[in-house]
């Protein structure tokens, strides 16, 4: 896995910006460009993140991706605000 991590780091270090000019596959999608920025975190914060997802720390990198485009046509529907939350116990009481 360290080899994969090294490959990703070297790839995004030499080419942090992907657009239709330098990546032909980007011409077929509606996103104008993607910019990858290495997000360096302290060791303590990295351990905290891994603990929050329930795993022990393994070597990793975090990148911030900018310039992602969201289109209104991709929105399937809007939902109303949550008015009430029912638990399983609430449903059992109604059934009794």
35-46 confidence digits (pLDDT tens): 999 988 888 888
* d(C-alpha 5, C-alpha 16), whole Å: 15
pLDDT for the residue 36: 92
**3-state SS class at 94:** helix
Q: What is the pLDDT of residues 14-32, one digit of tens each?
A: 999 988 888 888 877 777 8
pTM equals 0.58
pLDDT over threshold 70, residue 94: no
Measured distance between the N- and C-terminal CA atoms of the chain, rounded to whole angstroms: 54
pLDDT over threshold 90, residue 74: no
Mean pLDDT of 54-78: 77
């Amino acid at each position: 896995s360290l080899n994969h991590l090294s490959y990703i780091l070297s790839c995004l270090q030499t080419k942090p910006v992907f657009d239709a000019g330098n990546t032909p596959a980007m011409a077929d999608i509606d996103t104008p460009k993607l910019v990858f920025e290495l997000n360096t975190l302290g060791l303590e914060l990295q351990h905290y993140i891994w603990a929050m997802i329930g795993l022990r720390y393994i070597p990793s990198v975090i990148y911030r991706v900018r310039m992602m485009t969201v289109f209104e046509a991709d929105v399937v529907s809007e939902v109303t605000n949550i008015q009430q939350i029912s638990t399983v116990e609430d449903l059992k009481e109604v059934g009794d």
